[in-house]
């Protein structure tokens, strides 16, 4: 909890992402993506201390576990951070109460359209609410409902993904949402990429894959080495063999586990067609294949059979670095890109005057 900035000067960035930094209360508008098993106290605090905005991944935590994680994070940093809650969690209301009781300033609702009661509870407590918007129509609806900021995440992201690319979402949503800050996510791995989306009207970005391999990340060394060796083409979405058996797409590094998943689908579907399994039993067998696989990869280092969830930005991961070094590198790259005359002309405005 040094409170001393180690970032390079960034007057152009400061202007471009001012709405984002004001919403988050941070020096940069770089959010850490909420990655299950990875986005816990150490990484979240490190991102906050480096001038970014860390987000705890609640995932399937109980309210008691979430409370402990929030308190542990606060013991490591006094800077702002948020909590990501999955709207389908059966204890969503209790998780929201934990965030409010422990005075978490920002709540991110993910994994579906947030229920009105959840929005009302968060807004009624005067906390900042961020939501994921998969389309312009839903983005406008979320803003009308009270969202203070939006995150648009393209299919280049790691983990569970949608069907539309980051670039297309940005072109669709950024021109139509000017009331609240919009953070772009999915496949962003460099400062040049950050600058490009800021130039399109974004107020900040969310990044996960680069931070998964940070020095402060608790991910197993084998997990990190798999990322360092990988290229963008290695981060592939899961394959659905039969439309009758829905498979939610997940982007991860291809390994023995992903290949085995394809084989399992074929085997289970064949058993269904022979009458050995009901459709429900077959669907559950497919769905449960990955149970615990992410933990095996992240915590145990099982890079052969575990789930190596990674975005296509994995190709930008070249080494294990401290979070502060990653953010400083991104800021320097983005500032240099925005400082070019062509970039400023494309934006159509100049940065605000700064002292010094």
Q: How far is CA 340 from CA 76, 142, 194, in A?
A: 38, 35, 14
Model confidence at 245, pLDDT cuts 50, 70, 90, reads: confident
Same domain? For 158 and 88 the reply is: yes
Question: Pairing relation of β-strands 128-132 and 149-153?
Answer: parallel
Same domain? For 211 and 276 the reply is: no
Contacts 24+ apart (CB under 8 A), 142-145: 142/114, 143/177, 143/179, 143/180, 145/114, 145/116, 145/119
Per-residue 3-state assignment (H helix, E strand, C coil) for 176-193? HCCCCCEEEECCCCCHHH
Alpha-carbon distance of 203 to 184, in angstroms, equals: 8
Q: Is the pLDDT of residue 341 over 70?
A: no
- Lowest-pLDDT range of 87-96, 104-113, 242-251: 242-251
Enter the DSSP assignment of 13: H
Model confidence at 347, pLDDT cuts 50, 70, 90, reads: low
The pTM of the full predicted model, rounded to 2 decimals, is: 0.92
Largest Cα–Cα separation, the chain? 76
Whether 168 is covered by a domain: the verdict is yes
Same domain? For 154 and 249 the reply is: no
Same domain? For 164 and 266 the reply is: no
Q: Which residue has the higher pLDDT, 342 or 149?
A: 149
8 A C-beta contact, residue 63 and residue 98 = yes
Instruction: Find tokens 């064949």 and name the residue.
Output: 270
User: Cβ atoms within 10 A of the Cβ of 96, count?
Assistant: 24
pLDDT, mean over the chain: 94
Whether 329 is covered by a domain: the verdict is yes
Same domain? For 337 and 261 the reply is: no
User: Cβ atoms within 10 A of the Cβ of 156, count?
Assistant: 21
Same domain? For 40 and 176 the reply is: yes
Whether 5 is covered by a domain: the verdict is no
Whether 152 is covered by a domain: the verdict is yes
Model confidence at 3, pLDDT cuts 50, 70, 90, reads: low
Model confidence at 340, pLDDT cuts 50, 70, 90, reads: confident
Same domain? For 62 and 181 the reply is: yes
Residue 3: name the closest of 51, 40, 45, 47 by CA: 51
8 A C-beta contact, residue 44 and residue 73 = yes
Same domain? For 58 and 194 the reply is: yes
Same domain? For 248 and 295 the reply is: yes
Same domain? For 248 and 208 the reply is: no
Q: Is the pLDDT of residue 354 over 50?
A: no
Whether 354 is covered by a domain: the verdict is no
8 A C-beta contact, residue 118 and residue 92 = yes
8 A C-beta contact, residue 144 and residue 123 = no
Q: Is the pLDDT of residue 356 over 60?
A: no
Same domain? For 209 and 299 the reply is: no
Residue 293, domain extent: 231-309
Take residue 139 and report the two structure tokens written for it: 């983005």
Counted domains in the chain: 2
User: Cβ atoms within 10 A of the Cβ of 279, count?
Assistant: 11
Q: What is the CATH number of the domain that holds 134?
A: 3.20.20.70
């Amino acid at each position: 909890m040094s409170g001393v900035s180690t970032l390079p000067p960034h007057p152009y960035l400061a202007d471009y992402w001012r709405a984002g930094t004001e919403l988050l209360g941070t020096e940069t508008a770089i959010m850490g993506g909420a990655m299950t098993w990875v986005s816990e106290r150490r990484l979240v605090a490190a991102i906050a201390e480096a001038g970014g905005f860390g987000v705890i991944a609640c995932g399937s935590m109980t309210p008691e576990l979430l409370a402990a994680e929030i308190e542990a994070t606060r013991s490591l940093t006094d800077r702002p951070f948020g909590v990501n809650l999955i709207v389908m969690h059966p204890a969503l209301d209790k998780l929201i109460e934990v965030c409010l009781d422990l005075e978490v300033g920002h709540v991110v609702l993910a994994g579906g359209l947030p229920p009105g009661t959840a929005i009302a509870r968060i807004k009624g407590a005067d906390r900042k609410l961020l939501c994921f918007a998969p389309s312009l129509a839903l983005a406008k609806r979320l803003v009308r409902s009270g969202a203070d900021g939006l995150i648009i995440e393209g299919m280049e992201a790691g983990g569970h993904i949608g069907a539309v690319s980051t670039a297309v979402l940005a072109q669709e949503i950024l021109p139509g949402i000017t009331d609240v800050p919009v953070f772009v996510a999915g496949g962003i791995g460099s400062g040049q990429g950050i600058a490009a989306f800021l130039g399109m009207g974004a107020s900040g970005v969310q990044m996960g894959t680069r931070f998964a391999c940070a020095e402060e990340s608790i991910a197993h060394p084998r997990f990190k080495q798999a990322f360092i060796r990988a290229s963008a083409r290695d981060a592939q979405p899961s394959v659905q063999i039969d439309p009758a058996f829905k498979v939610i797409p997940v982007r991860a590094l291809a390994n023995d586990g992903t290949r085995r998943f394809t084989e399992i689908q074929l085997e289970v579907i064949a058993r269904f067609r022979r009458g050995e399994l009901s459709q429900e039993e077959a669907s559950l067998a497919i769905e449960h294949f990955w149970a615990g696989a992410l933990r095996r990869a992240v915590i145990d280092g099982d890079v052969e059979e575990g789930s190596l969830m990674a975005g296509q930005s994995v190709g930008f991961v070249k080494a294990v670095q401290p979070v502060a070094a990653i953010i400083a590198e991104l800021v320097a790259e983005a500032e240099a890109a925005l400082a070019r005359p062509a970039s400023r002309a494309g934006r159509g405005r100049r940065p605000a005057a700064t002292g010094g």
